[in-house]
A and B are shown apart, each in its own frame.
Chain A
Amino acid sequence: MDLPAPVFELKHVSQQFGQFSALTDISLQIYPGERVALVGSSGAGKSTLLQLLNGTLRSTQGEVWAMGRNLSQLSSKRLRQIQQQIGTIYQQLHLVDNLRVIHNVNAGQLGRWSFLKALTSLIVPLETETAIKALSQVGIAEKVYERTDRLSGGQQQRVAIARVLVQNPIVILADEPIASLDPELSREVMDLLRNLAQQTHRTLIVSLHDVDFARSHCDRIIGLRQGKVLFDAAPHQVSPDLIADLYRLESHR
């Protein structure tokens, strides 16, 4: 079978933080249009993996390829060009909370804007239509001129998603996007992410604590345990035993 070129490819990647090894010898490929869930307990290496994929971290060993480029060999300018194609949604803590919502959404376009345009927009907001369209997609168009820290946690999470919409990337990474939301909001945010990926055929990689959401919203689940891939399979192949194994404590082994 002739597969398309992978969006991401990890070749024997390891990541050390001092003495602690967060990831050990990871090799995997992710193809366009896939919806991948990363599951595992806290400290299993989910966030580290996402940071490697979006170029925030450079791997201590092995190679991370994104869109046909080896990330560790790019100049900072070329790296930025690749990064513009990768949108990352963090928990709401990653917004500049004393700016108004419009500026946080517009920040998604900063990779394309000139300094002068960005400066002007801080005084007189530019491209408000694009921003409002993105905000109405996530259902909070009326908040466009409010200060971000006046919004609730769920609303801030939507602002973060609207920012990625405006960025219009090929890949969406989401680092525990529903960790601090109630079940109702969690479902809404996950539905939103799934629809975004499906409608425009974007690749989605999302780290989750909740395995049920991984099953219902993704088509591939990667289980991480202590920095290693424990399983990498379609949702129907992931048995309850496998999940139990994933969350079992070290001492009980």
Chain B
Amino acid sequence: MTVTPSLKWGLIGLAAIVLSLAQAGLFQQDLFNLNGAPLLWKFIVASVHPDFSPELLQTTFNATLTTLAYAVCGTFFSLILGIIGGVLTSEVWWLSFGQPSRFWLLIRGFLAAPRAIHELIWGLFFVNIWGLDPLTAIVAITIPFGAITAKVFSEILDETPRQPLLILLNSGFSPLTAFFYSLLPQAFLNLLSYTFYRFECSIRSAAVLGIIGAGGLGYEIFLSLQSLRYEQLWTFFYALFILNGLVDLSSAWLRRQLGCSSRLDLNLQQTKKKQAPKDIVRRRYFLLLPVSLALLALCFWVINPDFSKLWALRTQQLLGQFVRSALPPDFSEVPRLIPQAIETVSMSVLAIAFSAFGGLLLAFPAANNFFLPGGLLNSNPGKSANLLPQIMLLLSRAILLMCRAIPAPIWALVVLFVMFPGILPGAIALGLHNLGILGRLMAEVIENQDQRPLEALKAQGTPNSLIFLYGVLPLTMPRFVAYSLYRWEVCMRETVIVGLVGAGGLGRSLTEQLSSFDYRSLIVTLGGFLMLTFLVDWVSATARRSLR
């Protein structure tokens, strides 16, 4: 028997997980610190009686508004950057101007660096320049998210069928007109759908940025956790759940209205597309614009960032100072960086293994088309007395929401109650946070799955367990794996943010060097981190391609 790509990559993945576990010290050292158990218990008990005093509720409301405002403003600016960058880095744009040059590849390469650096590092950097101004949070979100959006937009544009554009170009339209009349309308829904997804990500990022002092819910949570005020902490947690839940729900609802069912399409082969939605809902596009504009205005008014700082003389001076003090790079730390780099990769591997496994387990009860009455695997058609599936649906969705709403560094601090610092608690924290995102994406894969092959199996009298084995699992697995690999790339970047709270790896060095103004070493560490990120991206992309 020949070795299939899935077998090969499966074995590689397994080996990577085992090696990472060994690296995490699973087999030699003490991992659990049971002295912290009472504290953890106190923390858990506080969840049932959060602090609902009026003053705290007022604080919570303000903090929630701040977090939302960061996310909205950050998304707005990254959208602008994304549109400009996306168009400029797409092959099709240069093609329509009759320039077959490879210029777009160059810009694409240039955008890789801001994308690879996590928002938190950008945040810490800009705190050094602007202090704790709202501007810091917005720019910290805008830079990496703008670069990511640009990349995804350019890919969407390049993958949109070009025939209509070429027809217009060949009949003498100006390139710009042709672009606006053919490619943009075709790609619009995909672009919009991705924008919603970016906004969901922005909300989570805005919470993380609070931890470096930028304010908002993340900041309040961090303060309460440090001062052991768990009742307050849970009030903020609940606010974060509601905010995340509302944003995810409305984004899902909007995408359903517009007929784009998947929030991010990883360009697997496009087979068996569902039918286009009925045209009655199309008109609601136009409502979207005034609503988002009003929200945007409100958010700018709430946080009132001082944009003059962007071009202020002092900013230029500080930036110049930074560049001068960062050169020449200091390579003396390199021997110390190599084990840290290995730690970082191990942490990301363990995190994604954890979240893929957990996400898979929770995705099936969280999908709405399987166990519910009328669902394919519901064993009692016609009888609706059984409430268990509904309860499982709500419960699993609640767990997923809780996992993704709480920022990874906060999870890390909670895990550190009962574990000794190291890469394993870091991986668990990252894993918990990503589990919530991955489980949600997987549930969507299941809900969008073509039902016909499964109905065919059912019609010939196949028991449910075997429908699952021969139908559901093989049909959904490729997408699960693709999402997990994609999330692995994200996990790699996020190792930095758990490094901040002492989970080890390169993230820890980065944050230490940033806060001690050791810019000459910082540049080197950052360079190493970038190389590592590109390596992981490459492995993930290669695996995804060969598993298609």
Which A residues are closer than 8 A to B by beta carbons?
Answer: 51, 54-56, 58, 76, 79-88, 90, 93-99, 103, 107-108, 110-111, 113, 115, 118-119, 122, 149, 167, 169
Tell me if B102 counts as interface (CB < 8 A to partner A): no
Q: Nearest residue in B to A108 (C-beta to C-beta)?
A: B460
By Cβ-Cβ distance, the 9 closest A-B pairs, closest first, are A83-B461, A84-B461, A94-B456, A80-B461, A111-B461, A110-B462, A110-B466, A54-B459, A94-B452
Whole-angstrom distance from the CB of A105 to the nearest CB of chain B? Answer: 11
Contacts of A54 in B (CB 8 A): 459-460
Given known A-B contacts A76-B380, A97-B271, A99-B474, A81 and B461 have beta carbons under 8 A apart: yes
Q: Does the CB pair B456–A98 fall under 8 Å?
A: no
Contacts of A86 in B (CB 8 A): 459-461
Tell me if B457 counts as interface (CB < 8 A to partner A): yes
Contact with B466, one of A58, A87, A94, A118 (Cβ below 8 angstroms): A118
Once bound together, how far apart are the Cα atoms of A85 and B461, in whole Å? 8
Once bound together, how far apart are the Cα atoms of A149 and B548, in whole Å? 11
Contact with B457, one of A81, A93, A110, A113 (Cβ below 8 angstroms): A110
Once bound together, how far apart are the Cα atoms of A108 and B458, in whole Å? 11
Contacts of B458 in A (CB 8 A): 56, 83
Once bound together, how far apart are the Cα atoms of A197 and B222, in whole Å? 73
Q: Does the CB pair B470–A111 fall under 8 Å?
A: no
Quick one: which of B424-469 are within 8 Å of A by CB? 450, 452-453, 455-463, 465-466, 469
Q: Does the CB pair A119–B475 fall under 8 Å?
A: no
Once bound together, how far apart are the Cα atoms of A111 and B188, in whole Å? 46
Whole-angstrom distance from the CB of B426 to the nearest CB of chain A? Answer: 35
Once bound together, how far apart are the Cα atoms of A93 and B271, in whole Å? 10
Whole-angstrom distance from the CB of B376 to the nearest CB of chain A? Answer: 11
Whole-angstrom distance from the CB of A82 to the nearest CB of chain B? Answer: 7
Contacts of B380 in A (CB 8 A): 76
Once bound together, how far apart are the Cα atoms of A55 and B456, in whole Å? 11
Which B residues are closer than 8 A to A by beta carbons?
Answer: 269, 271-272, 379-382, 450, 452-453, 455-463, 465-466, 469-471, 474-475, 478
Q: Does the CB pair B470–A122 fall under 8 Å?
A: yes
Given known A-B contacts A90-B452, A96-B453, A167 and B460 have beta carbons under 8 A apart: yes
Contacts of B460 in A (CB 8 A): 54, 83-84, 86-88, 108, 110-111, 167, 169
Can you sample 10 A-B contacts with CB below 8 Å? A54-B460, A56-B458, A81-B461, A86-B459, A93-B272, A94-B456, A96-B453, A98-B475, A110-B463, A167-B460
Q: Does the CB pair A80–B459 fall under 8 Å?
A: no
Given known A-B contacts A111-B460, A111-B462, A167-B460, A103 and B470 have beta carbons under 8 A apart: yes
Whole-angstrom distance from the CB of A103 to the nearest CB of chain B? Answer: 7
Q: Does the CB pair B470–A88 fall under 8 Å?
A: no
Q: Does the CB pair A96–B469 fall under 8 Å?
A: no
Q: Nearest residue in B to A82 (C-beta to C-beta)?
A: B461
Once bound together, how far apart are the Cα atoms of A224 and B309, in whole Å? 75
Whole-angstrom distance from the CB of A207 to the nearest CB of chain B? Answer: 15
Contacts of A82 in B (CB 8 A): 461
Q: Does the CB pair A95–B453 fall under 8 Å?
A: yes
Once bound together, how far apart are the Cα atoms of A76 and B464, in whole Å? 10
Once bound together, how far apart are the Cα atoms of A122 and B470, in whole Å? 8
Identify the interface centre among A80, A94, A119: most chain B CB within 10 Å of its CB.
A94
Number of residue pairs across A and B with beta carbons under 8 Å?
88
Q: Does the CB pair B381–A76 fall under 8 Å?
A: yes
Q: Does the CB pair A88–B456 fall under 8 Å?
A: yes
Whole-angstrom distance from the CB of B80 to the nearest CB of chain A? Answer: 40
Contacts of B459 in A (CB 8 A): 51, 54-56, 83, 86, 88
Whole-angstrom distance from the CB of B4 to the nearest CB of chain A? Answer: 9
Whole-angstrom distance from the CB of A164 to the nearest CB of chain B? Answer: 8
Q: Does the CB pair B469–A122 fall under 8 Å?
A: yes
Q: Does the CB pair B455–A80 fall under 8 Å?
A: no
Q: Does the CB pair B470–A99 fall under 8 Å?
A: yes
Once bound together, how far apart are the Cα atoms of A111 and B424, in whole Å? 45
Contacts of A81 in B (CB 8 A): 461
Contact with A110, one of B269, B470, B475, B478 (Cβ below 8 angstroms): B470
Contacts of B381 in A (CB 8 A): 58, 76
Q: Nearest residue in A to B378 (C-beta to C-beta)?
A: A76
Identify the interface centre among B269, B452, B462: most chain A CB within 10 Å of its CB.
B462
Q: Does the CB pair B470–A115 fall under 8 Å?
A: no
Q: Nearest residue in B to A118 (C-beta to C-beta)?
A: B466
Q: Nearest residue in A to B548 (C-beta to C-beta)?
A: A98
Contacts of A107 in B (CB 8 A): 457, 462, 470
Known pairs A85-B461, A122-B470; list 16 more (Cβ under 8 Å). Answer: A55-B459, A76-B380, A80-B462, A80-B463, A83-B460, A83-B461, A84-B460, A87-B460, A93-B272, A93-B450, A94-B453, A94-B455, A96-B474, A98-B475, A115-B469, A118-B469
Once bound together, how far apart are the Cα atoms of A97 and B454, in whole Å? 11
Contacts of A111 in B (CB 8 A): 460-463
Whole-angstrom distance from the CB of A145 to the nearest CB of chain B? Answer: 9
Contacts of B461 in A (CB 8 A): 79-86, 111
Contacts of A88 in B (CB 8 A): 456, 459-460
Q: Does the CB pair B452–A115 fall under 8 Å?
A: no
Whole-angstrom distance from the CB of B462 to the nearest CB of chain A? Answer: 4
Q: Does the CB pair A115–B474 fall under 8 Å?
A: no
Contacts of B450 in A (CB 8 A): 93
Whole-angstrom distance from the CB of A76 to the nearest CB of chain B? Answer: 6
Once bound together, how far apart are the Cα atoms of A252 and B458, in whole Å? 41
Once bound together, how far apart are the Cα atoms of A67 and B380, in whole Å? 22
Contacts of B271 in A (CB 8 A): 97, 149
Once bound together, how far apart are the Cα atoms of A248 and B125, in whole Å? 74
Contacts of B474 in A (CB 8 A): 96, 98-99, 103
Contacts of A118 in B (CB 8 A): 466, 469-470
Once bound together, how far apart are the Cα atoms of A18 and B402, in whole Å? 38
Q: Does the CB pair B469–A119 fall under 8 Å?
A: yes
Once bound together, how far apart are the Cα atoms of A108 and B460, in whole Å? 7
Contact with A96, one of B379, B465, B470 (Cβ below 8 angstroms): B470
Q: Does the CB pair A113–B456 fall under 8 Å?
A: no
Once bound together, how far apart are the Cα atoms of A79 and B462, in whole Å? 10
Q: Does the CB pair A76–B379 fall under 8 Å?
A: yes
Q: Nearest residue in B to A124 (C-beta to C-beta)?
A: B1
Whole-angstrom distance from the CB of A57 to the nearest CB of chain B? Answer: 10
Q: Does the CB pair B466–A115 fall under 8 Å?
A: yes
Q: Nearest residue in A to B470 (C-beta to C-beta)?
A: A107
